Amino acid sequence: MRNLLTLLTLAAPVFAQATLPSDELKTTAGVLKITPVQHASILMEVPGQVVYIDPAMGNYDGLPQADLILLTDTHGDHLNAKVLEKLKKAGTQIIAPEAVAKSVAGAVVMRNGETKTLGKWTIEALPMYNEKRKRPDGGVFHEKGRGNAYVLTFGGKKIYIAGDTEDIPEARALKNIDVAFIPMNLPYTMPPEEAAGMVRAFKPKVAYPYHYRGSDLSVFEKALAGSGVEVRIRNWYR
């Protein structure tokens, strides 16, 4: 599934830091560079702006400070106060669901269903949640409405950050997604075959497995064979 290299090409010589290879997405507003950091942490760079999603895990030495930070959830693999302080600078904007914003000074709250425009970015907050998988006490790991998934639009391209979710109707209903970041580890999100079923429903052009510790990514890739979705497997656990 390598038929979309004109949309999203591996930029092997481009590095945010020496050990973190990046991919490039061409948009009408310039190149958007995507760098997997670790687990659920993503760095995106566009001309004149640095964006992080869930900067919590991994090594941030040598990485640029943030103009915009998007947070999805309260759990420690998505929210790390020390990393936030390291990446913040004067003027850094932080977007977060209400449950997260309570512990992050200066964060702007976005709730499921809300949309904001920040410069050349349009940000839509969507649900992310569990229904099937539960803790020993019977509660779900992620309640509906507590966290945010995001659809980011920049230069005519749409990027879906699924966050910690199962296969949910809100994801299946997505349209015209160019790049999707899809979690797949149990018991917190979903297994690879379920993740592939969700992706087949909304058919992004490119799908990145992330938040996948311990999962068999070949199952995800094989399940999407022939679907027209290009699977991009990257090393999120160095």
CATH homologous superfamily for 8-231?
A: Ribonuclease Z/Hydroxyacylglutathione hydrolase-like (3.60.15.10)
Return the amino acid letter for 116: K
* CA geometry: angle 18, 57, 219, nearest 5 deg: 90
What is the reported pLDDT for 219?
98
Residues of the chain with pLDDT under 70: 1-19
**Confidence at residue 19, expressed as pLDDT on a 0 to 100 scale:** 57
> What pLDDT score was predicted for residue 197?
98
Q: 109 is written with which tokens?
A: 């709250």
Q: What are phi and psi of 131, to 5 degrees?
A: -130, -40
Confidence (pLDDT) at 110? 98
- The pLDDT value given to residue 131: 87
Q: According to the model, what pLDDT value does residue 149 have?
A: 98
pTM of the predicted structure, to 2 decimals:
0.90
pLDDT score, position 28: 97
The per-residue pLDDT for 14 is 37
Question: How many other C-beta atoms can be found within 10 angstroms of the C-beta atom of residue 168?
Answer: 19
Give the per-residue pLDDT at 83: 97
pLDDT of residue 10: 37
pLDDT of residue 159: 98
What integer pLDDT is reported at residue 133 of this predicted model?
Answer: 79
